[in-house]
Structure 1
Amino acid sequence: MPALSIVIPVYEAEDYLPGCLDTVIGDGAGGDALEIVVVDDCSPDGSRAVAERYAARDGRIKVITTPANAGSGPARNFGLAQANGDYVWFVDADDELKPGAVERVLAAVAGPRPPDVVLVQHEKRRDTGAIETGELPELAEHCPADPSGFTLAEWPRIVDYTHTPWTKVSRREFLTATGLGFPTGWYTDIPWTYALLRRAERISVVTECCYQWRQRAGSSITRTRDDRHFDVFTQWQRTWDDFEDVDDPGIRVALFNHMVWHLLLVIGNTERVEPKQRRAFFRRTSELYRRYHPGPEAWQPAAGVTGLKQRLLAARAYLGYEAFRQVYRIAKRVNRSGQPGRPAPAPEPTASEVEASSANSSMGAPSGVGASAAQQAADESPGLPAQPTLPAPRVP
């Protein structure tokens, strides 16, 4: 029986799958301890043919096909049912593993007390070539427990690590025993990840980089305008339903903080939510904010830009939120051009830019303009003073 099964759901990945498989098999990486399950989700392109060519050369690769196209979540479930490894790692077909990743994971699960879940460090490579490193090593430096074996209750802030399935390697018997699977729709990794972390009796981390997320234009839902981004509310509701009987205040506060950060990230990304849908998305976000707020004694808005947005959510002040966004965009143009009369074009602020602005205690706006937006927010959300609490997670 192999020690590790890598499950790769495939749909319209003909151009990327060879690069993915090359990094998985490496120079015989893992040897007989490795199994690769390629799940053809009824892809209409030549993805299956690519997988079969690799399977003909490497006996550790098997190719299976779903009964019907169902999306990456159900395809992962289908692959899990066909996997034989002690551990399972879900890898996306358009991403790549870093050199030595398989060996590092095998070493992490080979100890006398095998973990239920291993979290692995990742990096994001944008289509521009820019690389951003994941935050797992930084988080691990502040782990209040043993990073080689802990529970969610011992380290609630681990929820801030990206909720993508490809940063988790899970013990297969643990997964099957708990019945955890991916639901349908978009953002299915949210309820799966937090249900996984909640149930794990032993979690460990690998802080050396193992995975490269290749963010490509047009190939990721994070860069696709579609009404299916509203699925994020269904997935977060599923998560809270699952945590209904969890009374640990540390866990609930950390999960709430991460949810608010994530929903503000989605609505703030102009490549996701259509402008005509922004009001409805804001209102849905505000509903979840108010429903699951752990109380003012447990959690209050952060400082700076982030806290201002959070207070606008609390007040359901969509017009104030949109006014602030416009102020911020104008300020960025002025700052980048250095000529207020001739602003240079600027994209919508990214989450990292917003967080950097917050960290510097600056609104990023000309004197008086940012102050007006802040005052409007304060007027619309009385009784919710801004003060630093949990810092916002870094962008995955």
Structure 2
Amino acid sequence: MRFLPQLADARFPFSPMSGRRPGATIGGMPTLSIVIPVYGAEAYLAGCLRTIVGGGDRLEVVVVDDCSPDGSRAIAERFAAEDPRFRVVSTPENAGSGPARNFGLTQAKGDYVWFVDGDDELKPGAVDRVIAALDASAPLDVLLVQHEKVRDTGVVEPGELADLTAACPADPGGFTLAEWPQIVDYTHTPWTKVSRREFLTGIDLGFPAGWYTDIPWTYGLLRRAERIAVVTESCYQWRQRAGSSITRTRDDRHFDVFTQWQRVWDDFEDVREPQVRVALFNHMVWHLLVVIGNTERVDPRKRREFFRRTSALYRRYHPGPDAWRPAAGVAGLKQRLLAARAYLGYEALRQVYRLARRVRGGGPQGPAAPRGSAAEAAPDGPPEQPAGPGLPAATRVSGG
């Protein structure tokens, strides 16, 4: 889940919407609805909306004003005044991006829904690319789209979908989670998924409240989808901005991650395919170790409790030694420490790793990690690699 800073400056760059057809009318039901939850986004929203071009009358854009206290709604209304494909709706009260997406889904009319964040941007041609992919296939439940991460330093890092797809054991134009379990390693953000609206409303899968709400939504979606496909050409830019992401915010609400992962396992209770449960467990372990290893998320005074709860999930959902084994090297050692509930050993390992990075140079965090690596996502520890038989090493998720 993302949140956006509240900015008081109401001034913003605004220009006519390149590529739009002012005055165009929507004939019939649109193919694609882009739903954008908005709170405190006035500094970025115009930039986001200007990148939503193409699609003709097959596109609608629903901007959900989540009772934003700034000028975000006024920005969205200016776009709606210029293009009838844009609509602005409001939640009854501020509830967060997850409930705002749920509300936006009830307002959408398109055959497919794409949740976009108001401080991100679409890549040129993304709308037409997505619609073409939907046209080219038998009806899909979910279309996964490639993204790229743009850091606040300007560094651009490609997402993992293209690399994952290169090792896909099924048809990337139409598969299920059981046919390709390793797809769980793709980022669990909603903005990389275009979903059939009737499928979404039919499975009654909404975003829960709290932080990390993308986790149960994503895996619940993939579990139920009967036909998934991918677009490996980049469609989305995740703009990582200082102060605008929970991945760079120290807060006790990071403990919500345990509630969300527990929701996943409760939902998967009757999923018996061992390869799916192994892939999901492997990904959970990686993700929780990333969160605890990031000093920008977990207060050091709370790290012991976070480790204890991570260890509890590890032990509860371990698929068994014949199905999953710890990775090699330091990553595997950290996994074994989880199994043993050995927090002091984990903390000692973390300190040794930090010291080694200082010795190598580059300041307290050492030299810059490779672009897109898990080490960069988790500056207090080495990269976490997949483990266990049949799980290929893969570049890890970019999201939180």
TM-score (norm 1): 0.88
Q: Residue type matched to 1:119 in 2?
A: L
Separation in 1, partners of 2:251, 2:131:
39
Structure 1 residue 15 and structure 2 residue 17: aligned? no
Q: How many Å apart are 1:311 and its aligned residue?
A: 0.8
**What residue is the counterpart of 2:255 in the other structure?**
230
1:387: how far off? 7.4
Q: Structure 1 residue aligned with 2:202, among 177, 189, 192?
A: 177
CA 264–350 in structure 1, closer or farther in 2 if over 3 Å, else same: farther
Question: Hey, what does 1:194 align to over in structure 2?
Answer: 219
Report the counterpart of residue 277 of structure 1 in structure 2.
302
Structure 1 counterpart SS, 2:194: strand
Q: Take 1:33 and 1:395, find their aligned partners in 2: how far apart are those partners?
A: 31
Question: How far 1:346 sits from its partner (Å)?
Answer: 2.5
User: In structure 2, what residue type is equivalent to 1:30?
Assistant: G
Deviation per CA, 1:93-141, whole angstroms, max 9, x where unpaired? Answer: 0000000100111011113511100000000000000111001011101
SS of 2:209's equivalent in the other structure is: coil
- Work out which of the residue numbers 70, 89, 94 in structure 2 matches 1:45: 70
For the 8 Å contact 2:290–2:374, the answer to whether it is kept is no
1:395 positional shift: 3.7
Partner of 1:286: 311
The one-character-per-residue Cα deviations of 1:67-114 (angstroms, maximum 9, x if unpaired) are: 000000000000000000000000000000000100111011113511
145, 166, 169: which one pairs with 2:170? 145
| Unmatched 5+ stretches in structure 2 | 1-28
Tell me the equivalent position of 2:329: 304
Instruction: Measure the CA separation in 2 of the matches of 1:387 and 1:168.
Output: 27
Q: Distance in 2 between matches of 1:355 and 1:331?
A: 14
Q: Pick which of 72-81 and 344-353 moved more.
A: 344-353
Tell me whether 1:251 sits opposite 2:247 in the alignment.
no
- Secondary structure in 2 matching 1:299: coil
User: Shift in Å at residue 59 of structure 1?
Assistant: 0.7
Relative to structure 1, the CA distance from residue 235 to residue 40 in structure 2 (aligned partners, 3 Å threshold; closer, same or farther) is: same
For 2:326, the aligned partner's letter is P
Amino acid at match of 1:300: R
> What's 1:59 paired with?
84
Q: SS where residue 44 of structure 1 aligns? A: coil
Residue 25 of structure 2 corresponds to none
Between the aligned partners of 1:45 and 1:33, the Cα distance in structure 2 is 31
Partner of 1:241 in structure 2? 266
Alpha-carbon distance in 1 for matches of 2:44, 2:199: 31
Q: Per-residue displacement from partner, 1:327-361 (whole Å, max 9, x unpaired)?
A: 00110111126xxxxxx4336997966659xxxxx
Corresponding position of 1:359: none
2-structure distance, mates of 1:349, 1:194? 32
**Counterpart-to-counterpart distance in 2, 1:121 and 1:250:** 24
Uncovered stretches (5+) of structure 1, i.e. residues with no partner: 338-343, 357-362, 365-385
C-alpha distance 239-350 of structure 1, shift in aligned 2 (>3 A): farther
Q: What is the rounded CA distance, in whole Å, between the counterparts of 1:309 and 1:108 in structure 2?
A: 41
Distance 1:306 1:353 in 2: 14
> If each structure's helix is expressed as a fraction of its own residues, which one has the higher value?
1
Correspondence for 1:316 among 316, 322, 341: 341
Judging changes above 3 Å, is the alpha-carbon distance between structure 1 residues 307 and 389 closer, same or farther for their aligned structure 2 residues?
farther
Distance 2:374 2:100 in 1: 35
Deviation at residue 287 of structure 1 after TM alignment: 0.4
Query: In the alignment, is residue 125 of structure 1 matched against residue 150 of structure 2?
Result: yes
Q: Which one of the candidate residues 8, 31, 56 is aligned to 1:3?
A: 31
Find out whether 1:204 has 2:229 as its counterpart.
yes
* Distance change (3 Å), C-alpha of 1:392 and 1:148: closer
3-state DSSP of counterpart to 1:109: helix
Q: Does the 8 Å CA contact 1:194/1:239 hold for their aligned counterparts?
A: yes
Q: CA deviation at 1:389?
A: 6.3
Look up the SS of the partner of 1:147 in the other structure.
Answer: coil
The CA distance in 1 between the partners of 2:286 and 2:141, in whole Å, is 27
CA shift in 2, pair 1:234/1:348, >3 Å: farther
**Equivalent in the alignment of 2:396:** 394
Matched AA of 1:346: Q
Report whether the alignment pairs 1:154 with 2:179: yes
Give the Cα–Cα distance (whole angstroms) in 1 for the partners of residues 81 and 184 of structure 2.
Answer: 40
Q: Normalising by structure 2, report the TM-score.
A: 0.87
1:349 and 1:321, CA in 2 relative to 1: closer, same or farther beyond 3 A? Answer: farther
1:300-321, Cα deviation, whole Å (9 max, x unpaired): 0001121111111111111111
Runs of 4+ in 1 over 4 A off after TM superposition: 347-356, 386-389
- Of residues 110, 116, 134 in structure 1, which corresponds to 2:159? 134
Query: Does 1:295 find its partner at 2:323?
Result: no
Asked if the contact 2:323–2:389 (Cα under 8 Å) also holds between the matched residues in 1, the reply is no
Match of 1:72 among 97, 101, 118: 97
Q: What is the CA–CA distance in structure 1 between the aligned matches of 2:302 and 2:60, rounded to whole Å?
A: 44
Distance 1:68 1:271 in 2: 30
Partner of 1:96: 121
Once residues 228 and 58 of structure 2 are traced to their aligned partners in structure 1, the CA distance between those partners, rounded to angstroms, is 21
